[in-house]
Amino acid sequence: MMGTITGRTRVVGVWGHPVGHSRSPIMHNAALSALGLDWVYTAFDVPPARLADAVAGVRGLNLVGVNVTVPLKEQVPPFLDTLSDEARRIGAVNTIVNKDGRLHGDSTDGGGFLRALAEAGRPELFGQRALLLGAGGSARAVAFALAGQGCEVTVANRTGEKAHALAQAVSRCYRGRASAAGWGEDAGRADLIVNATSLGLSPHGNAMPALPPGVLDTRPFVYDLIYNPLETRLLQAAREAGCSVSNGLSMLVWQGALSLSLWTGRPLSEMPIAAMVRAVSPLAPEHPVLG
């Protein structure tokens, strides 16, 4: 539980639309408590049409910063004063840091995803083949992160043009390391499958993304960015096919820890990962099953 709110309590939070389902407030307030900071983390429902007002509010109310989630990540960069190289590369921001009224945008999704993979026992990505489902804001972060580690990335998305555009953007940055494939069409062997679509996300029905036939036969590692439900139909099918799997809780924790590190200016090693994991894990509080 967070401590008493005082006249000195500072505010940090998350913007989304909708945002009521977010687990970030529970996770971050546990972290703030563990760090002994007199800050409170809350959720703000920001319709895209009010984004400019919300950005002005960060300066006007001297917020510490905010996380930004669906559907605002790709809309917010033009409103900010500076962007990290990562945010500029992927064209999306999930963390705003208020530096004395100057707003800096960064993205911790890619870094959080890579740490989640490492934690799940997949640290070696060089030369591996990844099939990435989706071409939205988080898929962009994942595609650049994987290609940056030397992975060959195939992007498949319902809207094919977006898959092509993402593959081209990644390939411009990491010479030819990405290509696009049709949604559900054969793209060759995959060592890693990542679901970065919202297919399977509660409460919209646990739908299954389109997979190329036989792609689970070679037992790729399957990571689903979704963590609600903890086991999507994709993860269930992959587990039943004998694949190692992981859900998105681990990425939630690591991208959050990286954001917290940016806001506090303290190294990632000082972030209270165990408290954050405990706060978001509904399964086993001491040793949660992240995958």
**Distance, CA of 162 to CA of 178 (rounded, Å):** 13
3-class secondary structure for 121-175?
CCCCCCCCEEEEECCCHHHHHHHHHHHHCCCEEEEECCCHHHHHHHHHHHHHHCC
Q: Which of 58, 64, 252, 279 binds ligand NAP (CB under 6 A)?
A: 252
Based on the shown chain and the rule CB under 6 A, indicate whether residue 137 belongs to the binding site for ligand NAP.
Answer: yes
Contact region with ligand NAP (CB under 6 A), list: 23-31, 32-40, 96-104, 251-259: 251-259
Contact region with ligand NAP (CB under 6 A), list: 136-144, 147-155, 166-174, 257-265: 136-144
Name the packing angle between helices 249-264 and 273-280 (round to 10°).
140
Based on the shown chain and the rule CB under 6 A, indicate whether residue 198 belongs to the binding site for ligand NAP.
Answer: yes
Based on the shown chain and the rule CB under 6 A, indicate whether residue 58 belongs to the binding site for ligand NAP.
Answer: no
Q: Give strand ranges (E) for the chain.
A: 10-16, 39-45, 65-68, 82-83, 95-99, 102-106, 129-133, 152-156, 178-181, 192-195, 221-224, 245-246
**Distance, CA of 103 to CA of 82 (rounded, Å):** 7
**Distance, CA of 223 to CA of 215 (rounded, Å):** 14
Q: Which of 255, 261, 264, 281 binds ligand NAP (CB under 6 A)?
A: 255
Q: Which of 2, 34, 35, 70 binds ligand NAP (CB under 6 A)?
A: 70
8 Å CB contact between 251 and 26:
no
Shortest distance, CB of residue 159 to ligand NAP, whole angstroms? 3
29 vs 255 by CB, closer to ligand NAP = 255
Based on the shown chain and the rule CB under 6 A, indicate whether residue 109 belongs to the binding site for ligand NAP.
Answer: yes
Based on the shown chain and the rule CB under 6 A, indicate whether residue 135 belongs to the binding site for ligand NAP.
Answer: yes
Contacts of ligand NAP in 161-180 (CB under 6 A) = 162
Based on the shown chain and the rule CB under 6 A, indicate whether residue 155 belongs to the binding site for ligand NAP.
Answer: no
Question: Active-site positions?
Answer: 73
- Residue ranges binding ligand NAP (CB under 6 A): 70-71, 109, 134-139, 157-159, 162, 196-199, 201, 225-227, 248, 251-252, 255
